Structure 1
């Protein structure tokens, strides 16, 4: 029997496809390895560690919201429980260590999985508002228990531990911040790759089907409740890993790690990045962490700016920042991205002026209201110093904001026309 000849084009393509899939992960691994070389300060390493933890948690949350269509207001419970259990394991190892620190996230992940299994058994029977309200109630219940059950949660002071008490790992005792960064980065890659591969499995596809049309999934013979339950357990597992990484990095956990505020923050992060994309929570986590850490060093009302950004994103870009970037794929493929350069350049100056002047007005109002008696002098943008109680700076800020807003309104039709032209396929593309 003759053997069919191999088509070289087909063979080459079959080898290229895995490489194309692996290339983004290779680039991400190289970037994570080189970041401490570029940003080597302790503060920068701490910010990058916090960013990595937030990415893992946001991706785990997106397994519920983005892939399964389950809006949860209490998902910080599973991150917090995984972190608290990891801290107990860390303390148990302090007297007679027999495990290295890099395996600790596994304990956090399985503890988060255990409670996701138990809570998901009854909470995933229904989706929509019912699931959201149950998640809210469970989150508030566990947050209250964290103050009552002192033996596990440590009460109001929380629980702390020392990561250097566990066995060294190839000579690393993780006393240095850079060593902790590489541990966190490796687990970030492992968790992100695991969640991505899960999204490509039949169960991950079924979660999308149940999200889009649960009645049709039931008609085809799949249990919508079981699909949601399995997705909920997988999400709880990776959230527990994020909690363990938090315990390793900060060596203390309190009630704040599993309360409603933390659950709301991760919801904000996921929506900000874009729930319809796998990379969306990653972008959202990076932006949110930078705003939370860097912006908070320069202003006390940083949370107000984050809230404004979140509201603006939900109102004007419901698919998040990633969705905004994805809108430019078509003009790029059509070779018409150049149509947008000039309109964007025209919009850049009034947009920047509107943002800076509005922020200046808010900062003046805050300083005038909360500054101490006699403390009238304030500085914004590192060099502009003036009297916050004088009406002149406020008037100037309002005038600049008004003129900038008027300019944006006038330029908007031109941007829309350029956008229509850039996305028009023409006769050849039809």
Structure 2
């Protein structure tokens, strides 16, 4: 009887142990490891190929930033590291025949609010309208600006993008306050961005939409991997539940890792063409010049250009604060009035004896009469800086996701965009 009990007890203990034991088929496990590496390696190859193709082009055998004699047929190579990061020689003038907003878009590949604000200032500098500083509403004590269409527009043809901005600002009227555009003008940002992106593509600086993530390959890969991950997860879970066999787990791990790699790095930036890289290097040289310029080292011609021609570029480069400090230093010079002839596009908002608007140039034209303005010249540039901030705010509309890239997003109106490379739904390329 005791012998029977002695035999029964080990059996009773051994049976549960045999049922809960985890089974691993070594051959199946090794095969699963190899199979799990396949999607991971494929995802890695896709990411590597995307990175290789996403590098900017650059001309061979020429100084960086210089266009060869025959750019279309000149040899070119891909830039190591993605985009040019070498030493840039200072440029003392902006790139020729390229407007500030377009330059800003080429430099960083993004048409942001600063680029549109720079375009507005450039239009004012060129004589399409005047900016008049006014008092804001009494309850806010905020500064405001009135845009007044020029009675005699300049003898030039604006680009389609610039015409769009002018039409949307004035809409048949001759005067409008900047504050009145807030909200209703926000959706114009999307169309303005598309205009900037279209120009950089049409002029050959980008082959495709600069903000396209080139994610079609990634989308196809994810469409294949997600169902495979789900099916494999079901199979592995069933094996663990029925036989406690986790031999196929490496396949699931490999698929999940490939899914993460493809989702995180499967897209790629749109590379610049060799022409685009050359323009970017030129623009960076001019940006460095503006960022390091000192009032006492500038030539007379450069000082005059700072107040009008160069100002929109400083805005596009995000150098407004530094630029304002530079102009404040210039305003301390005794012959300051010689520099302001080109600033008749910005009006202080005061009035002269005849009731006409008093422009900054007029106010500082006579040093004796301008002493009040020269007492604190920083107010002038604070006004310009404030105008830039206010105009930037016109284009901030976070309630419409997707609009920020100039492509379709939920709620964007009008729908559709026609630039190569937009990956969002509704774009026709």
Same fold by TM-score, threshold 0.5 exceeded? no
Query: Structure 1 length normalisation: TM-score?
Result: 0.21
Relative contact order: is structure 1 or structure 2 higher (C-alpha 8 Å, sep ≥ 6)? 2
Give the structure with the higher percent helix.
1
Bigger Rg, which one: 2
